[in-house]
Amino acid sequence: MSDKCEAVVIGTGFGGAINACRLARQWPGKVMVLERGKHYGMGEFPRAPADFARNFWVLPDRTPRPKHVCKAARKAGAGELHGMYDVRNYDHMDVVVCAGVGGGSLIYANVFLEPPEEVFADPRWPASCKKASLAPYYAVAKSVLGSRPIPSDVGEPRRHIHKTELFQAAAKKAHRDSRLLDINVFFGKDFNTPLPIGKQCMNRFGALQTSCTYCGECVCGCNYHAKNTVDLNYLYVAEHVHKAKVHTEHLVDEIVPVNVSGIEDRQGDGSQGYLVRYRNLKENKSGEFLTKRVVVSAGCLGSTELLLRCKRVLHTLPNISDRLGQQFSGNGDFLSFVIEGFKGEPNYGPTITQATDYNLFRDFVPGHAFVVEDASYPAFLSWFVEGARPRLMWWKPISRLVRHLLTSLTSGKSPGVLGYAFADVLSDCTSEQSAVLLCMGVDTSTGVMDLDANGHLSVNWPIQQNRSLYDAILKEGEQFKRHLGAKVFTPLPTWDWPLRNNVTVHPLGGCVLADDREHGVTNANPVKLGEVFGYSGLYVADGAIVPTATGSNPVATISALSERVAEGITGVVPDDQLR
């Protein structure tokens, strides 16, 4: 027998959490939230090497994934893992997304950045979704997520972030604009008087958080809950105030319309509701909910794949627009590094603090518009970086260490410098002299998502169409290296010939908003925003509905659009109180 409810929300990232909160406020206790991943409390994110190796998402299917991840799943016994990182390997584009309560907010780099007007000038953005119309929704989401720049370090040396200063100096030498970014990081409830580093208090929604410890571990789950992830605001209120029920490790396989009697009707239009069928991965059993409306917020890949399978394999939603899967974008993501000579403490501070503009916000140049952001990485990854150093770089310190050891063994006396010799091995560390450059820009947004022969998602990314953007990033990266005083600039190894695979952590598109089904999958009419053409009460609210690359971190735009989807469903204008 089906459990009945007013709404089912699939996924708990930005779009899912926002809609769970807004819909649960409208229908308290009658909203079900289904999340495929686990819940992570404070201190529960993996850090030990063995635990981290298992912190990936793998199911026993044929989705293309890295070999070492599949091997770890086989070693786990059941051939599957339910960790956070879902890594996919596709044609010319690898994608990293997240599974867990909070979705992508668990591993994102916290940035809240609105795109410039020029992004919305692309004709693929419907008139109803231009920047001006989204302004009030940006404002609400920004307030809820607690977006602000890093606090001043005046009188507080522990708040000084050296890499930020170096990136700003390099931008000045390159005659580029650098600005501190608004980031969704907790420094206390009073923006003007930051809470001391490491001190805890309840946030304004009642969740316990820690004032940022500057540990640089934002992208692997914050064990201090110093990130304003959506499970600590939108979703926290949805669950604890409005009594939404969050079901973890529940993977949705099928959405099917029903008739007036609640019986499956594959030719129905959803006006009588839907059955949402899922697998409980913890208990290895299946179930279903009977609901009046469904909000699909499983992320760009997850939402598009689910709807593609319902349309083409299960034939439960056959009338979805044939534009499904079109306009995929990697948001111009491009990861690169400068090595040797940069001394900016890359393991200290929130992951990202500033952005340097390259023709995105000023003097917009199509095909060459991007930003460069500083990116901290966790200190424990420094050991991996050191292990990956070229062998010749180890020769000098190791030869000294061996010489000291031989002196001690042959003479029976210690020269008294053995400790210094060991220190010498770790001095001038590559990790301490490296910087991560996280670039994102305006790509062509012309990729295609489809189902492969096994019925699983595939992505075709037209890399040659985007070479002008990538080449511009590579050219400026070389210049940035010189301005930073580093010796080497290198892109991510997967970019090297013959692989030529890029990586994105910001996939967008696939269920894009449009004025009609000939141009998109979801309705751009404000009163029906996000509703799937041809299906009443079936909505998409996540990165899948974004029509093009935003050129900047897309969280702000995904959140604003999702707030507007929820307003169309509930008829209630959103505010930042959530109650």
pLDDT of residue 158 exceeding 80: yes
Predicted confidence at residue 339, as pLDDT, reads: 87
Least confident of 344-358, 427-441, 445-459: 427-441
Q: Which two tokens stand for residue 136?
A: 């009030």
Mean pLDDT in residue range 33-52: 95
Q: Please report, rounded to a whole number, the percentage of residues in the chain having pLDDT higher than 70.
A: 91
Predicted confidence at residue 72, as pLDDT, reads: 84
pLDDT of residue 429 exceeding 70: no
Least confident of 15-19, 377-381, 391-395, 465-469: 391-395
Arithmetic mean of pLDDT over the chain: 91
E strand spans, 472-530: 488-491, 502-504, 513-514, 522-523
* pLDDT tens track for 116-127: 999 999 999 999
pLDDT of residue 485 exceeding 90: no
pLDDT of residue 308 exceeding 50: yes
CA neighbor of 180 nearest in space, from 319, 350, 299: 350
pLDDT of residue 181 exceeding 70: yes
- How many C-beta neighbours within 10 Å does residue 79 have? 13
Of residues 540 and 501, the one with the higher pLDDT is 540
CA neighbor of 58 nearest in space, from 47, 46, 66, 48: 66
Distances (CA, A) of 467 to 50, 172, 367, 461, 470: 38, 27, 9, 12, 5
pLDDT band at residue 394 using 50, 70 and 90 as cut-offs: very low
Of residues 187 and 415, the one with the higher pLDDT is 187
Mean pLDDT in residue range 369-385: 79
Least confident of 155-159, 384-388, 511-515: 384-388
Mean pLDDT in residue range 318-322: 98
Contact 125, 557 (CB under 8 A): no
* pLDDT tens track for 59-86: 988 788 888 888 888 887 778 999 999 9
Mean pLDDT in residue range 9-32: 98
Strands 513-514 and 522-523: what pairing? parallel
* pLDDT tens track for 404-421: 445 444 455 444 544 444
Q: What residue type is 528 in one-letter code?
A: K
Which residues lie below 8 Å from residue 64, measured CB to CB, with a gap of 6+? 88, 89, 90, 458
Predicted confidence at residue 392, as pLDDT, reads: 43
**Secondary structure element (H or E) that encloses residue 555, with its range:** helix 555-570
Predicted confidence at residue 75, as pLDDT, reads: 84
Pick the CATH number of 3-45+84-383+433-570 from 3.20.20.140, 1.10.150.20, 3.50.50.60, 3.30.450.40: 3.50.50.60
Distance of alpha carbon 398 from alpha carbon 546, whole angstroms = 52
Phi, psi (degrees; rounded to nearest 5) at 523: -75, 135
Q: Please report, rounded to a whole number, the percentage of residues in the chain having pLDDT higher than 90.
A: 79
Predicted confidence at residue 430, as pLDDT, reads: 62
Predicted confidence at residue 424, as pLDDT, reads: 47
pLDDT of residue 452 exceeding 60: yes
Predicted confidence at residue 378, as pLDDT, reads: 79
Least confident of 2-6, 37-41, 291-295: 2-6
* pLDDT tens track for 90-133: 989 999 999 999 999 999 999 999 999 999 999 999 999 999 99
pLDDT of residue 433 exceeding 80: no
Q: What residue type is 509 in one-letter code?
A: G
* pLDDT tens track for 556-577: 999 999 999 999 999 999 999 9
Distance of alpha carbon 523 from alpha carbon 126, whole angstroms = 10
Residue spans of the domains in the chain: they are: 3-45+84-383+433-570, 390-429
Predicted confidence at residue 386, as pLDDT, reads: 54
